[in-house]
Amino acid sequence: MDERIITGIYIRVSTEDQAKDGFSIHAQREKLTKYAEANDWDIHDYYVDDGISGKNLEGRPEVKRMLDDVKNGKINNILIYKLDRLTRSTKDLIYLIELFEKHNCTFNSQTEKIDTSNAVGRMFVKIIGIFAEFERENLAERVSFGYEQKTREGNYTNTNGVYGYDYIVGEKVLVVNDLEKEIVNRIFDEYIDGKSYLKIAKLFNAEKVPTKRGGHWASSTIKSILENPLYLGKVRYGVTEKLKDKSFTVDGNNIEPIVDIDKWNRANSIVATRKHYCVRRYPSENSYYFHIIKCGKCGGNISARQQTQHGKLYITYRCNNSARGFCECGGFSHTKVEESFLKYLESLEIMKPDKSIMKENKVLNE
């Protein structure tokens, strides 16, 4: 008697795929269901990741659920519409093929006629994966170049808009939001008057000052507003670490400034001065506790900061929720954490010396 083929159907659409014929969730589900029925496969479940990129496997809950079902023997066959629906990473693809082999699970693609039940099929799927990854990286380079060129021409390329302006989609222009303009100028004024990013964020949250998308103010938001030259009517490229070497700022096309140059320069002079004291945020080789300890007040994650003052290194920890203004936990030093940890170790029975062993060692040494 032939073994039943119990199939898990995986479906993924990215935001860009939503408008394409044949790539919608409904279209993929319909085609794959008919394909499974035509092959007399039993459908165990549908796994659908909606609006998620196929760059890698992280952040895709339905992939994780499907792989758990493979490991637990609930399914022995995977069916997808096209290989890039599952992954565009050759590294992830090889990992998946090896995982499927280990758990005797076959892998099929409807449009590419892939079947990993034999060596030729497994080789073929790896070749397709290499080309899929090449296509993704090539597309990413073209998109990046397009953004760079548009920015050089003075165009604002972030269609999500930015605090202080509204982005008019049809016209592809930024217009000043008068209410938010006042808040932006107040941020600059408060910072020049001596308040920190965190104090301004806490103040705005207490006053229920609205954010762009209805969330809470965070110190990182205040920082990004203060450092953004858009408020001078300029556009910039290369904000991320990856593009830092290619960064530039140019005058924007028809972008009305909402902060005067003197105020912007004064604020950013203070930003530059304070940056001198904050070398980097996550110095993992020195602040090795931040990824294992939690906040005692709210249970939130902890971040670390490394500061140099008068030539001496200081490491401090702080609750991430405190940095956002949602927790009252203050900062604490690396030294205090170290002392507490050592005291805890000393309190453990396993750390206390065994007197019989000590006595035996003494005899041997005499």
Instruction: Give strand pairing partners of 167.
Output: 174
**3-state DSSP assignment of residue 141:** helix
DSSP code string of 25-41: HHHHHHHHHHHHHHTT-
Contacts of 105 (CB under 8 A, 6+ apart): 70, 75, 76, 77, 78, 99
Q: Are 337 and 317 in contact (CB under 8 A)?
A: yes
Tokens 């203004």: give the residue: 325
Sign of the C-alpha dihedral, residues 30, 77, 69, 4?
positive
Q: Are 96 and 126 in contact (CB under 8 A)?
A: no
Q: Are 306 and 314 in contact (CB under 8 A)?
A: yes
Any catalytic annotation for residue 247?
A: no
Other Cβ atoms less than 10 A from the Cβ of 47: the count is: 22
- Residue/partner pairs of 183-188 with CB below 8 Å, 24 or more apart: 183/209, 184/225, 184/231, 184/258, 184/259, 185/258, 185/259, 185/263, 187/222, 187/225, 187/226, 188/226, 188/259, 188/263, 188/264, 188/267
Of these residues, 14, 53, 117, 196, which one is catalytic? 14
Instruction: Give strand pairing partners of 42.
Output: 6
Residues acting as catalytic residues: 14
